[in-house]
Amino acid sequence: MINLSINQLLFVWNELVSAYYGVNAYGGNVAEIYAFRLLPCDPLAEHGDKEAQDERMMLAAESLFAIMRKFSEDFRCAVYPERHGPDKPAANILLRDGRVHVKVVRQ
């Protein structure tokens, strides 16, 4: 499930397209996605509720990985967190580091 605004979705999609063509500003075929760009609005989380903050980060991670799957299908390419490889997808990368480096490999 994708729980993002249109602007958030387009931001991530654009980063992946740039990486697909090898012109991403971060590192050619690698995009750097920050968690704060994917967070849904949640007043409780913004006022310090730890449970709400954890839920919001999990939604951001789920959304990112859903976009990665969709992008991979549409562009017929491999899309995965760079440090973990295509066989080890881990949503906790975003949760742990606050960012994830996403590699796009054309096939």
105 lies in some domain: no
pLDDT in tens, the chain (107 residues): 788 999 999 999 999 999 999 999 998 999 999 988 888 888 898 898 889 888 888 888 889 989 999 999 999 999 988 765 555 445 566 667 788 899 999 98
Q: What is the pLDDT of residue 89?
A: 47
Residue 52 three-state SS: helix
31 lies in some domain: yes
Domain span holding position 76? 6-96
pTM of the model: 0.85
Number of folded domains that form the chain: 1
101 lies in some domain: no
pLDDT tens, residue by residue, 38-47 = 888 888 988 9
Residue 107 Cα to chain centre, angstroms:
21
pLDDT tens, residue by residue, 9-30 = 999 999 999 999 999 999 899 9
41 lies in some domain: yes
Residue 51 Cα to chain centre, angstroms:
21
Report the distance separating Cα 74 and Cα 76, nearest Å.
6
Do the beta carbons of residue 21 and residue 106 sit within 8 Å? no
Length of the chain equals 107
